[in-house]
Structure 1
Amino acid sequence: MLRRNLCNPKSPLLTSFRRSMHAQPTQKQHALPAAYYRGGTSRAVFFKQEDLPANRADWAPILRGVIGSPDPYGRQLDGLGGGISSLSKVCVVGPSTHPDGDVDYTFVSLGVKNSDVDYSGNCGNMSSAVGPFAVDYRLFALPDNNLDSVSVRIHNTNSGKIIRSSFPVVDGEAASTGDFAIDGVAGTAARVQLDFIDPAGSATGTMLPTGSVTDVFDGVAATCIDVANPCVFVRAQDLDVDGNLTPDAISAHPTLLSRLDSLRRQAGVKMGLAETPAAVPGSIPKICLVASPSQTSVSKERNQTPAEVDLLARALSVGQPHKAVPITVALALAAAARVEGSTVADVIAGKKPVDGAGITIGHASGNLLVGAEFKADGGLASATVFRTARRLFEGRIFWKP
């Protein structure tokens, strides 16, 4: 019957098919040179800025098509996204427009189920791949091809801040192999040291944008701090939850995500990021639960004990529980730990640090050491973290118009 209907020129099925073909004319795919890198516990598509349109307003449809957004199924199967915030990212690198930078780097966060194209914040994890990309694609000229290591000064256009990326090189390219491991990524690789220079006030111009060390939203104490990215830290015990919840447990909790989003949006308004809660960007401020390991049960995933970490952190990124911890959140957390009276300082009060080099954070995939250096006047000089990165492929990337 179906065959007869399709063979009949007056068939309703054939008529419907013709109409759909007329409504969606066939077109060739577009393509651009691109690369795909892992940076820390994230992945992103990389473009040279010169390969994208000169007007940034024209980037949005290209980047959505490349990543596969929006996808109502939440999987981004028709693009290179991975269905979660840490895999729905694009990095654009070009010549520096800053006198203290070697290259410019613009980070773009793409919504998974929605059409958001967000330039409001940086990604610390992907920052670790920017220096290697710049070297690999000759955007940063090595002063000597015989060097075994290099430092690239990255100007992050999202925040206006400088990040110094130091890593080994081999035969004029970024090294990929090494003996350094990070929790959340299998195997070992070359170590990338990221020094975030003068990271306070990335979006608001000041480290404590509300003017207070703590604020109260919906009856919950919160520390709002802007270091590398604007962040909000709340104590897990104040929301009556355990500090070592898994990402799945956070998602499955009947009220936790909505409460955290309400707190985040109220904090965003008070931090000056938007005029109304509804207008607060999806990517900033980040919000993170903190807890003392001595006040919560032992982590089931990594068997963390109070002797291994200084505190537990569970962060959200674009509304989703992060499987590790965003690097910008870790940097802000390290700074907040040094601010007396903050919610972070409260959970580590009276404890000797696990490692004198900084603060050891227990996250859902393991541990992370991050340090912060303060100036004599109390200002934040820099924050440092160690990651790994690797080029996964290069070539031409296609998207549908």
Structure 2
Amino acid sequence: MSQAISCIIMRGGTSRGPYLKLSELPANRDDCALMLQKIMGSGHELQLDGIGGGNSLTSKVAMVGVSTDPAADVDYLFAQVGIKERSVDFSPNCGNMLAGVAPFAIETGMAAAASPVTLVRIRNLNTGKIIHAQVSTPNGQVSYEGEALISGAPNPAAPIKLTFLDVQGAKTGRLFPTGRVTDSIDNISVTCIDAATPCVLIRARDLGKTGYESPAELDGDTVLLARIEHIRRQAGQLMGMGDVSHQVIPKPVLLAAARDGGDIHARYFVPHSCHKALAVTGGIAIASACGIEGTVAAGLTSAAPASATIRIEHPSGMLELEVCKAGGDDHRIAAVSLLRTARKILSGTIFLP
């Protein structure tokens, strides 16, 4: 008999995937990984036997449960699931899928709804950090309809405000895991930063690029991709993460000066192909670096050092973030906020062999 588990499929930000209950999944990570591979259809480029979309942005899973942490209402575990490869990586975080966590928690009764807005406190099990999500809930019901339009999503929806608390050191425990704001790898200056997710920031021009190329152009440059991966693996070692060849973090980011009215221009890799927009967590890392003197990002940004708002240009448009620094400490980020949207696509049952 096939095994069946409940599921809601949502677009969260610029990603899409199933939202599952942690209580219905194996507690053992290896067993859980095997189940997620079956759910998504890993091992086939179209993920034909599962519900994955054959793309890294649509091969993501959000798992949610009631939290035991007094600072949180629910726990959120994210997994990046392989497409052709039968792999599951629990090490990264996804701020786009995070946008659907609060609506899912309210829809499934894990979090009580207020009116007209509900605050859901989320503990990210990938990082141990807390995020506050504010969701539109008129009459105590989640509303997905609205006029907020985020770059990279096709239709407007109700805004969801996400506030990431204490973002520094999400995986390594330090904002600058190497102890420096810049390092030299292959004679190229980079910034290794860990804010919401570990990233290695690189000036595009140092790799012979403008930084304004399309994702398809960058993905077609195999020499560039090999150079980026070589830098990424060395950055992982410098950041104390060991051999990252089988992990998707740290994420490489190519940066250039803004040209479309923003403060800085970015191409974010996931990590072996260029994101068609920009990951929320990657945006947090870039925005955090923009306000810190000496980083690769600070040398390219047009924003004032004390600016609270950073607008990052990316292939699909613009991501705007509010950065709140801890008083008197330029290297301490108290919180970063931004708006996302989510849409419920399907609610039902997944059957597994």
Tell me, what secondary structure is at the counterpart of 2:222? coil
The answer on 1:174 being equivalent to 2:122 is no
Give 1:307 shift. Answer: 5.2
Tell me, what secondary structure is at the counterpart of 2:199? strand
Give 1:41 shift. Answer: 0.2
Alignment gaps of 5+ in structure 1: 1-27, 294-305
2-side partners of 1:352 and 1:140: how far apart? 38
Tell me, what secondary structure is at the counterpart of 2:75? strand
Summarize deviations over 1:233-281 as a string: whole Å, max 9, x none: 000010011211111001111311111111111101110111x3xx444
Mapped contact 2:260–2:313 kept (Cα < 8 A): no
2:251: which partner in 1?
286
2-side partners of 1:383 and 1:192: how far apart? 14
2-side partners of 1:318 and 1:88: how far apart? 14
Query: Which has the larger displacement, 235-244 or 76-85?
Result: 76-85
Mapped contact 1:135–1:172 kept (Cα < 8 A): no
Tell me, what secondary structure is at the counterpart of 2:18? strand
Cα distance, 1:156–1:59 mapped onto 2, change above 3 Å: same
2-side partners of 1:77 and 1:322: how far apart? 23
Mapped contact 2:311–2:321 kept (Cα < 8 A): yes
1:86: which partner in 2?
57
The answer on 1:198 being equivalent to 2:166 is yes
Identical-pair percentage: 40
- Residues 232-271 of structure 1 mapped to structure 2, 5 A cutoff: 232-271=200-239
Normalized per residue, the structure richer in helix is: 1
Where does structure 1 differ by over 3 angstroms across 4 or more consecutive aligned residues?
none
- Residues 144-159 of structure 1 mapped to structure 2, 5 A cutoff: 144=114, 147-159=115-127
2:345: which partner in 1?
392
Mapped contact 1:122–1:228 kept (Cα < 8 A): yes
Tell me, what secondary structure is at the counterpart of 2:99? helix
2-side partners of 1:189 and 1:61: how far apart? 34
The answer on 1:383 being equivalent to 2:351 is no
Cα distance, 1:168–1:376 mapped onto 2, change above 3 Å: same
2-side partners of 1:352 and 1:312: how far apart? 12
- Residues 1-400 of structure 1 mapped to structure 2, 5 A cutoff: 28-71=1-44, 74-142=45-113, 144=114, 147-274=115-242, 276=243, 279-293=244-258, 306=259, 308-348=261-301, 351-352=302-303, 357-378=308-329, 379-400=332-353
Cα distance, 1:170–1:150 mapped onto 2, change above 3 Å: same
Q: Please give the TM-score of this superposition, normalised by the length of structure 2.
A: 0.96
Query: Which has the larger displacement, 54-63 or 222-231?
Result: 54-63
Summarize deviations over 1:314-352 as a string: whole Å, max 9, x none: 00114121000011000010000011010000112xx35
Summarize deviations over 1:40-93 as a string: whole Å, max 9, x none: 00011111111112333321111001101022xx22122111111111111110
2-side partners of 1:51 and 1:172: how far apart? 26
The Cα RMSD (Å) is 1.5
Tell me, what secondary structure is at the counterpart of 1:321? coil
Tell me, what secondary structure is at the counterpart of 1:255? helix
Cα distance, 1:29–1:318 mapped onto 2, change above 3 Å: farther
1-side partners of 2:316 and 2:299: how far apart? 24
Q: Please give the TM-score of this superposition, normalised by the length of structure 1.
A: 0.84
Alignment gaps of 5+ in structure 2: none
Matched to 1:188, the amino acid is: P
Summarize deviations over 1:347-378 as a string: whole Å, max 9, x none: 12xx356xx65111110111111121111141
1-side partners of 2:189 and 2:60: how far apart? 32
Query: Which has the larger displacement, 94-103 or 194-203?
Result: 94-103
Tell me, what secondary structure is at the counterpart of 2:91? coil
**Higher Rg:** 1
Count of equivalent residues = 350
Matched to 1:284, the amino acid is: I
2-side partners of 1:187 and 1:357: how far apart? 28
